[in-house]
Structure 1
Amino acid sequence: MTKSTKKPWSTKDVMTQIYDMKLWGGKTFDFYSGSGSHDPKTINPYLKSVITFLESHNNVLVVCDLGCGDFNIGKQLVSYTKKYIAVDIVDALIERNKKLFKQNNVEFQCLDISKDELPKADCLILRQVLQHISNAEIKAVVKKLNHYKYLILTEHIPLGTFTPNKDIISGQGIRLKQKSGVDLLEAPFHLEIKNEILMDEHILEHNKGRIVTTLYKLF
């Protein structure tokens, strides 16, 4: 008699369940990407710094947002870009966004960023996305980054020094409980860059770490 084996959940399955079960909060919302995408103390300084960057390029950059979520952040950046390509892994979320946000220069795509070919763009936004996925998936994403001139990366990391890039299973949680966080310049990722600029750093209350946004020029 053979044992039945359950097929492991894919990252798409996990992320879909997170939204279906409101695991990031927002019980009154149809889709909610967490307080990190809605708390004014967190998002307003971020938006200011990114808008300043986009304006410095005369609002002509094509931007690709990997992990656009409920689009509460992206919708406030669209007007500062030539084109805004918003990507997420959850089908129902992308279909919802297509119905709600119909600007001429916005395009929504449902992709698994670790497996699928990524859209062409000048600037890539990865905002609190890598922190939720495994090292293997991050490695797959990093291999695709050399097609972009700029990367705006936001990660939730511990206060002070920490051990970077401890592995996790892709899902709701992040590496903070392991006193770790994602650092693409460190092993096992070793992202090659031309330079980097700290765009924004927000210290969270109650010793819950910090949210750091860094601009990387990749070529």
Structure 2
Amino acid sequence: MSQNTAATQAALAQRLMQTIKPLVPVWLRTYYHVRREQQHDARYGTKPPGEVFSDVYHSSLWGEADEPGFFSGTGSHDPRIVEPYAEAVTALLRELPRKPDVVDLGCGDFHIGSRIRPACGRYVACDVVAPLIASNRARYAHLDVDFRCLDIAGDELPAGDVVFLRQVLQHLDNGRIARVLARLHRYQVLVLTEHLPLARDFPPNAKKRLGASTRLARMVPSGVVLTAPPFNLKPVHSRVLCEVREGAGVIQTVAYTLH
């Protein structure tokens, strides 16, 4: 088959899907999407996080950048999402008596981390994908960031004043989330970002496999809420820093004072 023929067939298939989509019931489209997302995660079985998320990047399950390299998804690059987050977190950090030492757990391609770097003292950025960390070291060498490859649910975490977890826990199973949470006591402030359902009465912390999908990809959407069972985080204080509508949910960032 020639490239022209393949391209024509792909275009026709896409046009056909666009024609059919309005005729398919919403519940059926939702079911198909949920099944597809769950099947993606199920194929990883018991593989360790490093292998899982290396494949997520290799397969472009979070999308592709305009230029070669790692891409952590539109949630890390869409200005409509990035700008409110960077402004709110920078404002929070500047309220502190000095520039805090921060630890970024699940730093991804560091597009967002690079935006808030000037408001921080020492900056340690961690991710479980080794080639991604190597790429970040080369790309952001001028920012004086300590990039480390580690498993946030299994390895010892770096010391710091403030810890960032931005749309990371939503990709983990509950067991790993609990192990991460048990390691956060060394930090004074947790800045947590999660993609949550729009409805405020959603059932929190549904069980999920490790993988690219989130708990929104369910017939009854869910999301990670650390203050709800089974995690039951009891912060000294909490406040919502920003919320941005995205798709069928909202990306919410909350600052928790841990002690």
Q: TM-score range by the shorter chain?
A: over 0.9
Tell me which residue corresponds to 1:115. 154
8 Å CA contact 1:197–1:216 kept in 2: the answer is yes
- Residue of 42, 49, 62 corresponding to 1:11: 49
8 Å CA contact 1:82–1:105 kept in 2: the answer is no
CA–CA separation in structure 2 for the residues paired with 1:180 and 1:45: 24
One-letter identity of the residue aligned with 2:230:
P
SS in 2 for 1:152: strand
How far off is 1:69 after superposition? 0.4
Aligned residues: 212
Residue 124 (str. 1) matches residue 163 (str. 2): yes
Alignment map for 1:168-179 (pairs within 5 Å): 168-178=208-218, 179=221
Tell me which residue corresponds to 1:191. 233
Instruction: Assess, with a 3 A threshold, how the Cα gap between structure 1 residues 158 and 92 changes in structure 2: closer, same or farther.
Output: same
How far off is 1:59 after superposition? 5.1
Say what the alpha-carbon RMSD is for the aligned residues.
1.4
Q: Percent identity over the alignment?
A: 39
8 Å CA contact 1:59–1:80 kept in 2: the answer is no
SS in 1 for 2:216: helix
CA–CA separation in structure 2 for the residues paired with 1:104 and 1:46: 20
One-letter identity of the residue aligned with 2:89:
V
One-letter identity of the residue aligned with 1:66:
L
Q: For each residue in 1:119-169, what CA deviation from the matched residue of structure 2 results, as whole angstroms up to 9, or x when unmatched?
A: 000000000000000000000001011111000000000012200000111
Larger radius of gyration: 2
One-letter identity of the residue aligned with 1:194:
V
Alignment map for 1:41-120 (pairs within 5 Å): 41-57=80-96, 60-103=99-142, 105-120=144-159
SS in 2 for 1:153: strand
CA–CA separation in structure 1 for the residues paired with 2:193 and 2:240: 10
8 Å CA contact 1:66–1:113 kept in 2: the answer is yes
Gaps of 5+ in 1: 1-5
TM-score (normalizing by structure 1): 0.93
One-letter identity of the residue aligned with 1:163:
P
8 Å CA contact 2:117–2:143 kept in 1: the answer is no
Structure richer in strand, relative to its length: 1
SS in 1 for 2:99: coil
Tell me which residue corresponds to 1:182. 224
Residue 137 (str. 1) matches residue 176 (str. 2): yes
SS in 2 for 1:211: strand
Structure richer in helix, relative to its length: 2
How far off is 1:16 after superposition? 0.3
CA–CA separation in structure 2 for the residues paired with 1:29 and 1:128: 23
Gaps of 5+ in 2: 1-43
8 Å CA contact 1:152–1:213 kept in 2: the answer is yes
CA–CA separation in structure 1 for the residues paired with 2:107 and 2:45: 28
One-letter identity of the residue aligned with 1:106:
V
One-letter identity of the residue aligned with 1:171:
G
4+ runs deviating over 4 angstroms:
none
